[in-house]
Amino acid sequence: MPVLDQEPSKGLGGRDGLPKLPLPALKDTLDMYLRGMKHLLTEEQFNKTQHVVQQFGAPGGVGELLQSKLKERRDNKANWVYDYWLNEMYLNNRQALPVNSSPVMVFPQQHFKAPMDSLRFAAHLISGALEYKTLLDSRALPVDCARGQLAGTPLCMEQYYRLFTSYRLPGPERDTLVAQESSVMPEPEHIIVACKNQFFVLDVVINFRRLNERDLLTQLEKIARMADSEEEQLPSIGLLTSDGRTEWAESRSVLMRESTNRDSLDMIERCLCLVCLDDTSGLGLNDTTRAMLMLHGGGVAKNGGNRWYDKPMQFVVGADGCCGVVCEHSPFEGIVLVQCTEYLLKYMIGSPSKLVRAASVSELPAPRRLRWKCTPEIHKLLASSADKLQRCVKNLDMNVHKFYHYGKEFIKKQKMSPDAYIQVALQLAYYRFHGRPVSTYESASIRRFQEGRVDNIRSATPEALAFVKAMTDGKLSTNDTEKMEMLQSAITAQTKYTILAITGMAIDNHLLGLREIAHELKLEKPEIFKDEAHLISNQFILSTSQVPTTVEMFCSYGPVVPNGYGVCYNPQSDHIIFSVSSFQESSQTCSAEFVKSLVQGLLDMRDLCNRCNYGSNTAQQRQGQTLETHTQTDTNWQNKTPQRPTDLTKNQQTLPQILLKTPDQTKVEAQTQTSSQEEAQALKNVKKS
């Protein structure tokens, strides 16, 4: 979710000193809306939309009234769009969380030789998570700061502090994001361990002492033995959390009638995080199957019930080495998921496991199994949830592809932004496969503002469409030089929109605010929001984000519409990881064919660049500025070279099989390919507001 590169720096956490999110001018947003939609509509549709938009923005019209009310809201709130955005993006959404909403990080395949190895891995992981929480609790986490043209600008850190303290409570119409900030309630000092669809309370602080890694392993061993006890097996209550949000809210109300269930729910909802000890899946594990298993657990027959989807962080440790993190997305963006996960994996490599032998069993009280009282009504609800999860499992069409022909170093040698280049490649892939452009979402971080979350970069630009048409028309009417100019134009357009988005001047949040303020004022919904173009503009058939990592892992998520694709990509110096998802039930989509089209497009773009001799002059390369706009994560993702994992053979049973990447000496100094004057002007606009 593109942002200018940033690096950690010392400083105060939270919102200290950050500016408020600006409110774009009404005319600017309406003009951008029309320009961005014209090529996605028929002539008849566009003519109607143009008339509707002109009426909305007319002097003295409803648009001006709503804009004035938004200005008042901006004056009175830390962030004028935050509540609207959170409800729209997450809490109002009634779809089930697995696949549809919750992204996952997929760790490198682990090679556990015995069951004890996976428990050692889990104990080490928990120990790292507790270290990270200590950093958060003491506000010792370095504040992220912008680099380049915006060097030193601090970014909002609020999302980090919801990592281990929040919970998504299901509601009949709207969920609630619960943050445990009460000084009355004691700090949670337990995690929940899921094992064989049973839930156990693992206290991580006993007698005012945090458990060390050896103690944690001892407790995990006890949990594994308790979970094996067949006479104690309880129904897979976690399946209820995989259902649609309204259905889960109703099921939770039924559970709450029994005090035993209320106590168990309270322990789960107040825990720091979940650790899910998964059974072997029985599937051949490759990148694609591991991504699928992380997204939905493999359904009822595998580990689909070994989850509690309302918690922000679920660390999954599979007996077969399938490991990763499942993230409930409403409290924070991918930056938090990546930063926390990378901290943990680097912690596990950097601090070798302190396990010598398990502590005496008698020293620690046994973990507690959570109990459930299940009526026939609850059993019926469980059967329904299980059935829907199975349909979800069958419906997911996943394809994880590692593109090894080149990576971001080649793109930077062309003096192009890797992110913008890949976005244009995605437009080319979709157009080549489906023969038309579609609304595209690429999330842009607005963390430079108080309580900033994201806005949208609309990557389906007219310039991108011109380029992809020229690349696919099969005629010789457009020569290479013209195609190259079109590619440069498409990348420049993408870059300009990115800068607008990260500086708070994009259109999606603004249009959302105008719509919601009209609703609050109890006005009839303005025609602009009932128009067909508005529906088309918000049907994000391509939902994309860049999630770069410095550890060999990748992020995956599902599509946001039935006939769409979810495309997450992780550019490395010499390769790019693409995680593409779609739904089997859609006759219009196919993840494998999309990947095939994407690979062809990336090769065609490389060949075009090579034929035009871009990047061949070494002196020019040194002088050239590159745009390295990063999606999701906001950190300074510098050039990286693989580090040989020679040290990882020691302590193999306790160290994760992870390939670390380390920054080399060359830093990317420039952030954008657009001129610094353009960026300075964008920043002036922000300051004026």
Which sequence positions are flagged as catalytic? 329
What are the backbone angles phi and psi of residue 342, rounded to the nearest 5°? -65, -40
CA atoms within 13 A on the CB side of 17: 9
Question: Alpha-carbon distance 672 to 688, whole Å?
Answer: 22
| DSSP assignment string, 598-621 | HHHHHHHHHHHHHHTTTT--HHHH
Six token digits for residue 289: 């199957």
* 3-state secondary structure (DSSP) of residue 441: strand
- Residue 105 CB partners (closer than 8 Å, separation 6+): 294, 324, 325, 327, 337, 338, 341, 553, 554, 555
CA–CA gap between residue 464 and residue 424 (Å, rounded): 6
Tokens of residue 528, six digits = 């602009």
From the centroid of its chain, how far is CA 356? Answer: 37
- In angstroms, rounded to a whole number, what is the distance separating the alpha carbons of residues 425 and 431? 10
For 65, 107, 180, 258, the CA distances from 183, given in Å and listed in that order, are 41, 36, 9, 28
| Number of residues assigned to the chain | 689
Q: Can you name the residues that pair with 455 across neighbouring β-strands?
A: 444
Distance of alpha carbon 455 from alpha carbon 85, whole angstroms = 9
Instruction: Indicate the DSSP class of residue 648.
Output: G
Q: Are 395 and 591 in contact (CB under 8 A)?
A: no
* CB of 346 closer than 8 Å to CB of 310: no
What is the distance, to the nearest Å, from the Cα of residue 598 to the centroid of all Cα atoms in its chain? 21
Q: Token pair 């979810």 is at which residue?
A: 566
Q: What's the rounded Cα separation, in Å, for the pair 126 and 216?
A: 8
The DSSP output letter for 580 is E
Q: In this structure, are residues 630 and 546 in contact, taking their beta carbons and an 8 Å threshold? A: yes
Q: How far apart are CA 449 and CA 363, in angstroms?
A: 49
Q: What is the DSSP letter of 129?
A: H
Rg (CA), the chain: 25
